[in-house]
Structure 1
């Protein structure tokens, strides 16, 4: 019997070393949780056994218990690198909408070719849908949905009105040559404003400001207006296409009184409808200068607005502590996409390890309970952070030495038992 007792000790020590080796092998695995082999003694007895004369029969592996203590956190530059500070697991789904749910602490996520947020194995991150204010609209297991980032946002709107409030310099000298947009000496100042066609394509509205020369008398001397007013001419182009008013390419005139206040025009200038080179659809355009002025300071733009809008392209993603995922787009719009679904279990050590830092619910762990981060028992989400393994190398090496000593001791006991048996076999009658 001592042979089998020592053999059980050898097997137990070998199992212990295997568990420790597995921990050490995964010291660099994100989201990995170490395990500890637990053993129990084996006793054979019945009601008639004298407790003072009981002899054990060895040991048996009772459990390979997982330790879900948090690992070390490492900062990264990716907003989709996520970690849970506290209890909980990310939920990922393999395959389609009916695929298997797995749970992980490895929050290294990326975007696949279909704009789904997935882990390294291609399984999709699960979130709860939210409304425009970020409130969850469907929770629990039935509310889970795969997170997909929209490529665009919004509907294109053609620019119909541009408002420009500029300050023109009263000390500017009127150019002498005929206006030529390719010759900078024939105009005083210029502004460029981005506008859009009906498809959301960007165009440039360029305005050229030319101070109108004063009339001259028969002697060639400038005649200053009695009211001290001055006039500027504005030539407007969309790309290479000049804007017209009433079919005329004559410049629009801005008139200022002696105090620098605009007297003409008193309303927005309405150009003739035009067809951009980027489109086949004709569109209107008006230009409002009514907030402009003239002073002794240099030319400047006080404000500039336009009512057009392009389709926004996805430009960034942010994840809050509560797991709210917000996408931002190139047109300035933002959209709430969902809240990260966090799963907890009544008995986390009862989860079955599936490899790839995945766990699966079992009868011992209980069913998953889903919720949102930073609420109750659910940990907070940390963006641009990865949780590493919770393996302590020093501790594991010490445990490995102890397991090795245990193995050697049981091997020695087995050898001693063998020698005793051999001695008995050699006894002669």
Structure 2
């Protein structure tokens, strides 16, 4: 039995090593959220057996949870580099299959059709606004279906030949405005920020993107600078929340745990060999 107990310890240490190694590998990934392996002991006994005389049966991995703590904000010179200071997520949609996703990676850019996309090519979703007043045109509860793709026209009105775009601005609320050659300011939309009852229930999909699940609950949508949604900073990006010093200490700890369990297997093997030799 001791062989299997130590084997479970080896597997747990290996999982811990893999989790920490992934954190270290993504220390420079924009908006990456570090993970932590959670373990629990294995114990079993017969109904009439005295549990004080029974040793445990090893360890098991209960899960690998992400830590959604705020990462450091790094200033850039690009207007469409956006960072959220708070617990919200940007809402994006893949044009290929209309899959809605959520991300903290605010490295947005304009593609050839003038739509604003993230690093994966998914389009940033915004709340429609009145171009002149900036008031939301959607009434009632916001849902992903009521959002639209953000498009920054080169000319205003869109498709015209005059009034070329001169600059773009983003407020703390996430309202995107375009300033055109005639001096007019046009509201293009408000960045849709999503918040969840349980962030840990989100499903990872890579590139600092997540999708909603039953465990996370339905997204609550709103604008920045209010409640759980946090505020938006233009010209900035959120860095990974990995503390490299802490991760290196975790690596050493996991390595020592692996070595200790290896020694336990070696000791059990020596004891078994001794017993077999006694019988022969």
TM score, norm. by length of structure 2: 0.95
Query: In structure 1, what is the Cα distance between the partners aligned to 2:80 and 2:196?
Result: 24
Tell whether 2:189 aligns with 1:321: no
- Structure 2 residue matching 1:29: 3-state secondary structure: coil
Query: In structure 1, what is the Cα distance between the partners aligned to 2:46 and 2:213?
Result: 35
Tell whether 2:104 aligns with 1:105: yes
- Structure 1 residue matching 2:240: 3-state secondary structure: coil
- Structure 2 residue matching 1:335: 3-state secondary structure: strand
- Structure 1 residue matching 2:153: 3-state secondary structure: coil
- Number of aligned positions between the proteins: 275
Query: In structure 2, what is the Cα distance between the partners aligned to 1:154 and 1:70?
Result: 39
CA-CA distance at 1:360 after TM superposition: 1.1
Query: In structure 1, what is the Cα distance between the partners aligned to 2:135 and 2:75?
Result: 28
Structure 1 residues 292-350: Cα deviation after superposition (integer angstroms, max 9, x where no partner): xxxxxxxxxxxxxxxxxxx2111211000001000111221110011000011111011
- Structure 2 residue matching 1:61: 3-state secondary structure: strand
Structure 1 residues 205-260: Cα deviation after superposition (integer angstroms, max 9, x where no partner): xxxxxxxxxxxxxxxxxxxxxxxxxxxxxxxxxxxxxxxxxxxxxxxxxxxxxxxx
Tell whether 2:236 aligns with 1:385: yes
Give the aligned partner of residue 353 of structure 1: 204
Structure 2 residue corresponding to 1:418, chosen from 255, 269, 278: 269
Structure 2 residue corresponding to 1:404, chosen from 251, 255, 276: 255
Give the aligned partner of residue 73 of structure 1: 73
Query: In structure 1, what is the Cα distance between the partners aligned to 2:166 and 2:272?
Result: 78
Taking the TM superposition and a 5 Å limit, the aligned residue runs for 1:84-233 are 84-95=84-95, 99-131=98-130, 132-138=132-138, 139-154=142-157
Does the 8 A contact of 1:351 with 1:359 survive in 2? yes
Give the aligned partner of residue 23 of structure 1: 23
Looking at secondary structure, tell me which structure has more helix per residue.
2
CA-CA distance at 1:141 after TM superposition: 2.2
Structure 1 residue runs of 5 or longer lacking an equivalent are 156-198, 201-310
- Structure 2 residue matching 1:424: 3-state secondary structure: helix
Structure 2 residue runs of 5 or longer lacking an equivalent are none
Taking the TM superposition and a 5 Å limit, the aligned residue runs for 1:42-61 are 42-61=42-61
CA-CA distance at 1:46 after TM superposition: 3.3
- Structure 2 residue matching 1:377: 3-state secondary structure: helix
Does the 8 A contact of 1:140 with 1:371 survive in 2? no
Structure 1 residues 1-23: Cα deviation after superposition (integer angstroms, max 9, x where no partner): 11010000000000000000000
Does the 8 A contact of 1:341 with 1:371 survive in 2? yes
Query: In structure 1, what is the Cα distance between the partners aligned to 2:157 and 2:136?
Result: 22
Structure 1 residue corresponding to 2:163, chosen from 308, 312, 323: 312
Give the aligned partner of residue 34 of structure 1: 34
Query: In structure 2, what is the Cα distance between the partners aligned to 1:334 and 1:92?
Result: 25
- Structure 2 residue matching 1:137: 3-state secondary structure: coil
Looking at secondary structure, tell me which structure has more strand per residue.
1
Give the aligned partner of residue 372 of structure 1: 223
Structure 1 residues 394-422: Cα deviation after superposition (integer angstroms, max 9, x where no partner): 00001110111100000000110111111
Query: In structure 1, what is the Cα distance between the partners aligned to 2:10 and 2:279?
Result: 33
- Structure 2 residue matching 1:152: 3-state secondary structure: coil
More off after superposition, 355-364 vs 384-393 = 355-364
Give the aligned partner of residue 334 of structure 1: 185
Runs (4 or more) in structure 1 with deviation over 4 Å come to none
RMSD of the alignment, in Å?
Answer: 1.5
- Structure 2 residue matching 1:427: 3-state secondary structure: helix
Does the 8 A contact of 1:153 with 1:333 survive in 2? no
CA-CA distance at 1:154 after TM superposition: 4.6
TM score, norm. by length of structure 1: 0.62
